[in-house]
């Protein structure tokens, strides 16, 4: 016997089961949305973890936006430089898929909303714990989507002084704790509901033939359903269509080329006009103005590149009492242009999901500069920028990244000198490094032994 | 084992999974709180749930019911083909786009152009409106096609294609005895014998006590 209070409870409105009237709500529909999320969310989580690894946070403190990660960094590995589209694909997937899951999450929440008003609200200790975990699941997914969505629009109205990385990374782990529990508890019910009747039958059932699911013990199916106004296949098309529309209007900012014009609602869906002729130019996400770099700072007559070496002990800290940084050379832009020039074809890919197609970069190999500094196999390389402050005015590259033949200190791009917004006089370009690690307006390179 | 289930409300595995998952979430929550702005984060986390469940959902559910009621009560001749989804779909699609991109649409990120992208934010309102317009146009076209096709296929006992759409107001349509058998067979499922409480016919699944 189902508890009497569910229909005749003391509270009115949504706390009464008879309040909920949708004839298509039920375990089957919820399970379909659940299955989509069960596939999508692990992809989001994995690409998010990879994205953190791409910063090589264990290499140096300046690379780590969440230095208190503790055990949550257990999986970190040295980020590769091949294939060159790896980071671009990872971030394009993370952001595009995340946006496409927004409608699915909303439809899934709609499908289970009667459960929020379940009465009595608690049956047992186990039930209490489940409901607490749902705060992590529902609050967590909305929190993750909201922080991500605001961040890609450079709208940093976050708590905690707007530190996106801290919120999104730790928030993801809070969410995933609740998510794993939710999946563990609901997976059998999902399989049961999905095997209850076939997708093909549902796709063949029109509105006139749409009937409620048999009453379920969980209380999703309405006791007194209204006549249907949409079929189940219609509801699936509704959710899928919304997801597809969001994806269609955004994916072009990651794919690039002519598809960028289809990214009507995406932060990098507009073509950029080049300052000196290149039109369309490729996208930037930090202008010289934003970085506090003026044309005078970066003028070829004022600018020099300093090459340093530094001894790092096994613990990653300089030996005590030694002046560890040793300046070995100062080069002007003209000096750099006299060195052997290499041309590579690499994309710029941003943590925010947008990316460029491959651009043709010309400059000096980082490996050649390391040799020139007398450290042909540096354990890592610290890049400093003219940029005033900011989290990414410094970045550290691994040995693999520094010695990769595709890694350049670029002086020119697409056959012209770099523009100021692209990092003139010189910028780092390393395959598969996050955009912010391809430091612009480079002022010094320090090769570490 | 029974004493445990009675006390806890589920089996021991449930408790183990719960503890493991709470440990992960709690560990991360602790790191999150170490940032100092616990209040801000709690407001966001709880605000997310309240904002969706108690504000967004009631608003859209109410809007959906209101629009149906308004059109049902008003006398204009409404087509017998279900029309509500031709309204729902473009409205919801447009609303989801607004929900995601409202910062750019309302030009809220002030440093977007100068500090970040060099791109103007003043195009997004127009783009969103254009997409919305296109969605409604497509929906109207689809509805027109549906009307034309539906009109050609109508059966004589259903009357003309354009009638007052009051057929959903027939009381008790879904409340006659044995309704659940119909519903089950409509889904290709077979129901048990009818009883006073239809839920009684389901296999007994214990709710957590």
Residues of B in contact with A176 (CB under 8 A): 24-25
The contacts of residue A448 (CB under 8 Å, 6+ apart) are A309, A310, A311, A312, A375, A378, A379, A380, A381, A382
Give A371-406 pLDDT, tens digit per residue.
999 999 999 999 999 998 777 889 999 999 999 999
Report how many Cβ contacts below 8 Å link chain A to chain B. 275
Average pLDDT, chain B: 75
Tell whether B192 lies on the interface with A, counting CB pairs under 8 A.
no
Range of the domain at A33: 5-248
What pTM was estimated for this model as a whole? 0.88
CB contact under 8 A, B35 and A66: no
A119 and A237 together in one domain: yes
CB contact under 8 A, B14 and A126: yes
A222 and A354 together in one domain: no
Residues of B in contact with A48 (CB under 8 A): none
CATH number at residue A363: 3.90.420.10
A318 and A443 together in one domain: yes
Give the chain A residue whose CA is nearest to the CA of B26: A174
CB contact under 8 A, B183 and A267: no
A49 and A126 together in one domain: yes
Burial group, residue A329, by CB count within 10 angstroms (0-12, 13-18, 19+) = middle
Tell whether B209 lies on the interface with A, counting CB pairs under 8 A.
yes
CB contact under 8 A, B117 and A150: no
Interface with chain A: mutation pick from B4, B177, B199, highest number of A CBs within 10 Å? B199
The contacts of residue B172 (CB under 8 Å, 6+ apart) are none
Q: How far is B142 from chain A (nearest CA, A)?
A: 14
Give the chain B residue whose CA is nearest to the CA of A14: B58
> Is the residue at A424 inside a domain?
yes
A219, A248, A277: which is the final residue of a domain? A248
> Is the residue at A267 inside a domain?
no
pLDDT band for B166, please (50, 70, 90 cuts): very low
**Is the pLDDT confidence value at B126 over 90?**
yes
Helix (H, G, I), strand (E, B) or coil at A442: strand
Alpha helices in chain B (DSSP H): 2-8, 12-34, 38-50, 57-73, 84-105, 124-153, 179-186
> Is the residue at A307 inside a domain?
yes
Cβ neighbour number for residue A41 with a 10 Å cutoff: 22
Q: How far is B74 from chain A (nearest CA, A)?
A: 18
Cβ neighbour number for residue B24 with a 10 Å cutoff: 20
pLDDT band for B41, please (50, 70, 90 cuts): confident
How many Cα atoms occupy the beta-carbon half-sphere of A413 within 13 Å?
31
A202 and A141 together in one domain: yes
Interface with chain A: mutation pick from B23, B38, B39, B45, highest number of A CBs within 10 Å? B45
Interface with chain B: mutation pick from A143, A176, A230, highest number of B CBs within 10 Å? A143
A191 and A141 together in one domain: yes
CB contact under 8 A, B112 and A154: yes
pLDDT in the model for residue A319: 52
> What residues pair up with A305 in beta bridges, in sequence order?
A331
User: Which B-chain residues 19-78 have CB contacts (< 8 A) with chain A?
Assistant: 20-29, 31-32, 34-37, 39-41, 43-46, 48-49, 51-53, 57, 68
Phi, psi of B162, rounded to the nearest 5 degrees: -105, 105
A202 and A77 together in one domain: yes
**What is the distance between the alpha carbons of residues A431 and A48, in angstroms, rounded to a whole number?**
19
Distances (CA, A) of B61 to A29, A169, A223, A415, B66: 18, 33, 18, 57, 8
> Is the residue at A366 inside a domain?
yes
Phi, psi of B81, rounded to the nearest 5 degrees: -70, 140
**Is the pLDDT confidence value at B190 over 70?**
no
A248, A278, A312: which is the final residue of a domain? A248
A304 and A224 together in one domain: no
Distances (CA, A) of A364 to A218, A408, A410, A426, B182: 65, 5, 6, 10, 76
A61 and A120 together in one domain: yes
A248, A275, A308: which is the final residue of a domain? A248
Residues of A in contact with B149 (CB under 8 A): none
Q: What's the total number of domains in chain A?
A: 2
CB contact under 8 A, A139 and B103: no
A144 and A209 together in one domain: yes
This model of the complex carries an ipTM of: 0.93
Q: Is the peptide bond before A262 cis (omega within 30 degrees of 0)?
A: no
pLDDT band for B162, please (50, 70, 90 cuts): very low
Q: Is the peptide bond before A164 cis (omega within 30 degrees of 0)?
A: no
The contacts of residue A78 (CB under 8 Å, 6+ apart) are A56, A398, A400
Give A41-90 pLDDT, tens digit per residue.
999 999 999 999 999 999 998 999 999 999 999 999 999 999 999 999 99
Q: How far is A343 from chain B (nearest CA, A)?
A: 26
**Is the pLDDT confidence value at B152 over 60?**
no
CA-atom Rg of chain A in angstroms? 27
> Is the residue at A268 inside a domain?
no
CB contact under 8 A, A126 and B15: yes
**What is the distance between the alpha carbons of residues A368 and A346, in angstroms, rounded to a whole number?**
19
**What is the distance between the alpha carbons of residues A264 and B133, in angstroms, rounded to a whole number?**
14
> Is the residue at A36 inside a domain?
yes
Give A347-376 pLDDT, tens digit per residue.
999 999 999 999 999 999 999 999 999 999
pLDDT in the model for residue B134: 98
Query: What is the average per-residue pLDDT within B82-89?
Result: 90
> What residues pair up with A354 in beta bridges, in sequence order?
none
A444 and A393 together in one domain: yes
Place of tokens 């690379």: A63
Residues of B in contact with A242 (CB under 8 A): 92-93, 96
Place of tokens 């943590």: A351
Helix (H) or strand (E) holding A362: strand A359-365
Q: How far is B10 from chain A (nearest CA, A)?
A: 6
> Is the residue at A373 inside a domain?
yes
Share of chain A above pLDDT 90, in %: 76
> Is the residue at A278 inside a domain?
no
Helix (H, G, I), strand (E, B) or coil at A81: coil
A36 and A86 together in one domain: yes
**Is the pLDDT confidence value at B154 over 80?**
no
């Amino acid at each position: 016997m189902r508890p009497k209070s569910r229909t005749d409870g003391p509270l009115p409105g949504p706390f009464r089961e008879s309040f909920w009237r949708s004839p298509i709500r039920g375990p089957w529909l919820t399970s379909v949305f659940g299955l989509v999320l069960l596939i999508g969310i692990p992809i989001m989580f994995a690409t998010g973890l990879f994205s953190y690894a791409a910063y090589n946070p264990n290499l140096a403190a300046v690379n780590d936006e969440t230095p208190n990660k503790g055990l949550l960094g257990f999986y970190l590995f040295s980020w590769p430089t091949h294939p060159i589209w790896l980071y671009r694909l990872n971030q394009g997937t993370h952001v595009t898929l995340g946006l496409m899951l927004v409608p699915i999450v909303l439809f899934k929440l709609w499908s289970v909303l009667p459960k929020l008003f379940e009465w009595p609200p608690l049956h047992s200790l186990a039930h209490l714990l489940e409901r607490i975990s749902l705060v992590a699941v529902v609050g967590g997914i909305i929190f993750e989507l909201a922080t991500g969505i605001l961040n890609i629009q450079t709208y940093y109205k976050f708590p905690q002084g707007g530190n996106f990385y801290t919120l999104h990374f730790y928030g993801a782990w809070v969410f995933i704790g609740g998510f794993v529990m939710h999946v563990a508890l609901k997976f059998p019910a999902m399989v049961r509901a999905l095997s209850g009747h076939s997708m093909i039958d549902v796709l063949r059932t029109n509105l006139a033939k749409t009937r409620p699911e048999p009453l379920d013990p969980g209380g999703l199916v309405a006791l007194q359903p209204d006549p249907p106004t949409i079929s189940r296949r219609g509801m699936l098309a509704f959710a899928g269509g919304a997801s597809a529309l969001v994806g269609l209007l955004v994916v072009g900012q990651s794919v690039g080329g002519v598809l960028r014009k289809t990214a009507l609602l995406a932060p990098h869906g507009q073509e950029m006009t080049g300052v000196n002729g290149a039109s369309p130019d490729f996208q930037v996400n930090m202008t010289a103005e934003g970085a506090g770099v003026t044309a005078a700072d970066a003028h070829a007559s004022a600018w020099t590149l300093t090459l340093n070496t530094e001894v790092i002990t096994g613990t990653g800290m300089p030996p005590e009492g030694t002046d560890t940084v040793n300046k070995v050379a100062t080069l002007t832009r003209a000096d750099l242009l006299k060195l052997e020039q290499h041309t590579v074809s690499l994309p710029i890919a941003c943590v925010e999901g947008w990316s460029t197609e491959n651009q043709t970069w010309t400059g000096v190999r980082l490996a050649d500069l390391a040799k020139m500094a007398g450290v042909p196999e540096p354990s890592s390389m610290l890049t400093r920028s003219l940029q005033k402050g900011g989290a990414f005015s410094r970045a550290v590259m691994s040995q693999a990244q520094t010695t990769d033949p595709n890694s350049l200190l670029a002086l020119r791009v697409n056959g012209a000198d770099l523009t100021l917004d692209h990092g003139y006089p010189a910028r780092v370009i390393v395959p598969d490094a996050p955009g912010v690690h391809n430091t612009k307006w480079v002022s010094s390179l320090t090769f570490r032994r | 084992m029974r004493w445990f289930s009675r006390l806890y409300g589920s089996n021991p595995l449930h408790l183990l999974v719960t503890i493991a998952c709470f440990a992960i979430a709690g560990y991360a929550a602790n790191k999150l709180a170490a940032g100092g702005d616990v209040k801000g984060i709690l407001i966001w986390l709880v605000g997310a749930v309240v904002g969706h469940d108690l504000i967004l959902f009631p608003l859209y559910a109410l809007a959906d019911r209101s629009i149906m009621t308004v059109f049902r009560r008003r006398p204009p001749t409404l087509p017998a083909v279900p029309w509500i989804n031709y309204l729902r779909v473009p409205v919801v699609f447009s609303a989801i786009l607004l929900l995601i991109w409202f910062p750019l649409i309302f030009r809220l990120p002030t440093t977007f152009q100068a500090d970040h992208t060099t791109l103007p934010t003043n195009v997004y309102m127009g783009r969103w409106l254009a997409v919305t317009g296109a969605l409604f146009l497509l929906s109207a076209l689809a509805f027109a096609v549906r009307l034309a096709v539906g009109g050609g296929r109508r059966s004589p006992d259903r009357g003309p294609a354009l009638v007052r759409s009051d057929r959903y107001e027939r009381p008790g349509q879904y409340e006659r005895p044995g309704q659940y058998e119909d519903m089950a067979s409509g889904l290709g499922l077979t129901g048990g014998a009818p009883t006073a409480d239809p839920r009684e016919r389901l296999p007994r699944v214990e709710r957590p006590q």
